[in-house]
Amino acid sequence: MGGVKMGIVKNMGRNSLLRTVAVGALVCMPSVAFAQNAEPADAAAESSDGGLDVIVVQARKVNENLQNVPVAVTAFTGDELAKQNFQQLDNLAKFTPGLRMAGGAASPSAAVITLRGQVQTDILAALDPSVGTYVDGVYWARSYGLNSNLLDIESVQVLKGPQGTLFGRNTTGGAILINSKNPDMDDFEGSAAVSYGRFNELEATAVLNLPLVSDAIALRLAGSRTRRDGYTTNIAPSTVRTALGGATFMPHPAVVGPLTGQKYDGRDRWNVRAKLSVRPTETLELLFSGEVFDSNETASARYLSYVPARFVGTARSNYDIGNNASILTGRLLGSPTATAAADGFAALNSVVTTLGSDPNVASLNEAPNNAVRTTTLGLTGSLDVPWGQIKLITAYRRVQSDSILDVDGSPYPLYATGNVQDLKQYSGELQTTGKAFGDKLDFAVGLFYFKERGSDAYTARILSGLLPVYQNSYGFIDNDGMGIYGQGTWHISDALGFTGGIRYSVDDKGLESRNADYVIATGLTSCKLVAVTPYAGPEDPAPAPCAKTARNSFSGISYTLGLDYKLGDNTLLYAKVARGFRAGGHNFRARNSIDFVSFKPEIAMSYEAGIKTEMLDRHVRFNLAAYITNVDDIQRTAIIAVPPVPPATVSSVSTVLGNAGTARFKGFEAELVVKVVDGLTFSGSLGHVSPSYVSFADSTGDRRQERFVQVSNWQYSLAGDYTSNITSNIELSLHADYSWRSKTPSNEYNYSGNPDNAAIIAATTLPAMGLLGARIGLTFDERYEFAVWGRNLTNERGYNGALAVLPLGFIGAWRQEPVTYGLTAKVRF
């Protein structure tokens, strides 16, 4: 690299050093004896010999055949996603071993991603995800709007294991690459599709590709409109009222009037994207892009699913179970103090029984709602150079989101939240890829810069009527990140290759927190993090006198080392070790100065070995990967009890972020595709992960027995596809799939000292679930297509997520969507 050396300096000098190193590395790159990569740019290429189609991925920043890449990757083309009834991005988990995806608890258009057991369940601006998401090469720091309908997609690729030596952001769990289709400068084309299904589900999509100047300028436009009626009916008494009525600062205020008969779990979304490709010369291409996503819809209904008995341990406060929810319920029903807890406990269990008997009803005193608007603007410049290509990826993204949620899922005002986010991110990535030394070396070198600014606000109405205090958490974030990375593969021989990569990252994170309690009876605001005398005035979600700031810098080195060996033309063996880094952060929702501390970075060491092979003239493809990942200082979110604040006499709860010792994840993933004859293909996948704590202890003792939230030990999928020409101009296509996952913990609780431990574990474990889907399509003259489809055909309605607020004494859950079926008509021109 021209003798450039990189030292490590502290604080302000560090960023300028990274810029110098990156620019020097790019300028000093060898400029002779290089060849450009000649692989096709599409995500898949048709087979010319009757075998399986070649799958082309960008796992190493260039287009390569999946079978030649010594990395565990699962990839899908846009056409495959359509045939497999993909509706939202979270459907990806059904066919990707090791992956679990779900809509956010408060924001269904956001995504919570678990990959190889690693997950971050809290969608919070002060916390980085363990799995990075890149849309058209741009890192999306926050997943609001991500879990939406897939619009004009070229491919989706899931890269497993620590990432960072080839990508803009460091992640410890993996990365998801989503590529939308780029403008085509040669062909005028387009399509229009309309789908109609159960619950008046309507999706209209239109795509138009316009070559404006031959071989020089092209424009591609795509848009979709999605709506659906709710399928869950609120049966709460007409007398119930919101606890968020005073939160007038919410962009979409809570519904004040009766909620009986309202429908929830609906959809109302828009998505529009434009891409303009400009090619000033044969070697330079500029790609301008803009996308807007907008939704305002009823969020997922919650269901009170379990009310545990009160339990107070000895010196194990993190396992205590409260019963304030039962006390409040009893008092609201008119019970005297002596019997309020018992009477409330009985009343809440009656709600549990009612909701458990009918999955189509809910009983809520808050109308769940979620509104999201995201705006993403980007410019990507690609320059062909003698050794390969230089690319600059720049982007701006703004997220505006607000939501209201009935956390407990009961008709009583136990726990309601309102969330408001307004975040802006700016990112730039300069990278070069190519070949050197007579094609002996494939390399990628890059520099990444990231800036995020904005606010994240949270208000909680907890035990309204019993706890006359509103909890407000408000944070202004100021995050900067920078990294320099490089990776190369040296082809020792035609069969043997060695890969090495390294990355140095710096993340500077700032937070101004204005957390406060607002006492309803007195109208006083009480600051939580600074010593300020309580003062009178209207409720303010961001009280300036309560401001307390924190700033920390986190730096780390990531690397990867690997060997791969080809056994003939169709079998690849590989082994690799990788170190991943996820920056620390600050405890955004701290309710006292003791908890207002930063948590440390998360470090992952992953060891992986795999085989990729094709047999029987490429009619059988089998890929297998096994791994062990050790994660030090793994980052976790917990709900804890908070002592009462006068005039309150009962405790409340708070959500805190911290590190939880060292965890180990062991597992494997297998994928099989068999092309029986032309037109008939079967596929299947199997994934297993076994998580455990190597060490985890705090002042209360050993905690290694605790469970891993949102981690399914087993999952598998089966699918079949058949295509046949009925006549010379009519094609029939059939698809069926089945996906299954094992039982999945929704809470870490596991304390044998509690007599009800087994019951709590059962209540905080999502049941095993299998989903069946199918699609039948007819295509006429390759232009007109009609299809009938169905999702969750066996109507599995078990709980698909849950949140246990054990310090208050309840568990609220949400369900799998019901069976949905419909018709699609599409025309291409």
Residue with the larger pLDDT of the pair 68 and 86: 68
Q: Assess if residue 16 is contained within a domain.
A: no
Residue 587: predicted pLDDT = 87
262-306, pLDDT tens digit by residue?
Answer: 999 999 999 999 999 999 999 999 999 999 999 999 988 999 999
Give the pLDDT score at 648.
Answer: 56
Helices and strands in the chain, H and E counts: 5, 50
d(CA 775, CA 785): 12
> What residue ranges in 351-495 does DSSP mark as E strands?
361-362, 369-385, 388-406, 415-436, 441-462, 469-491
**Segment 754-800, tens digit of pLDDT:** 999 999 999 999 999 999 999 999 999 999 999 999 999 999 999 99
7 residue type, one letter: G
Question: Which pair of structure tokens corresponds to residue 28?
Answer: 């000093």
**Is residue 17, in this structure, part of any structural domain at all?**
no
Establish if 272 belongs to a structural domain.
Answer: yes
pLDDT in tens, 560-583: 999 999 999 999 999 999 999 999
**Does some domain include residue 814?**
yes
Separation of alpha carbons 465 and 472, rounded Å? 17
Whole-number pLDDT of residue 620: 97
The domain total for the chain is 1
Question: What percentage of the chain's residues is helix, strand, coil (to nearest 5)?
Answer: 10, 55, 35
Q: Domain range spanning residue 673? A: 31-828
pLDDT digits (tens, 9 = 90+) for 668-705: 999 999 999 999 999 999 999 999 999 998 777 899 99
- 22 within domain boundaries: no
Is the N-terminal amide bond of 647 cis, ω within 30° of 0? yes
Half-sphere exposure of 185 (CA within 13 A, CB side): 14
User: Do the beta carbons of residue 138 and residue 393 sit within 8 Å?
Assistant: yes
Single out the residue of 624, 735, 733 nearest to residue 686, CA to CA.
Answer: 624
User: Quick check: helix, strand or coil at residue 688?
Assistant: strand
Q: What is the chain's mean pLDDT, rounded?
A: 89
Q: Do the bridges between strand 174-180 and strand 131-135 make them parallel or antiparallel, or are there none, so unpaired?
A: parallel
Residue 815: CB atoms within 10 Å: 22
Question: Under the phi-then-psi rule, with left for phi > 0, alpha for psi from -120 to 50, and beta for the rest, what region is 438?
Answer: left
Distance separating alpha carbons of residues 573 and 566, to the nearest angstrom? 6
Three-state SS letters, 468-521: CEEEEEEEEEEEEEEEEEEEEEEECCCCEEEEEEEEEEEEEEEEEECCEEEECC
**What's the Rg (C-alpha) of the chain?**
27
3-state SS class at 262: coil
Q: Is the pLDDT of residue 645 over 70?
A: no
Q: pLDDT tens across 711-737, in order?
A: 999 999 999 999 999 999 999 999 999
Residue 7 within a domain: no
CATH number at residue 120: 2.40.170.20
Flag whether 15 is in a domain: no
Determine, yes or no, domain membership for 509: yes
pLDDT at 109: 67
Q: What percent of the chain has pLDDT over 70?
A: 91
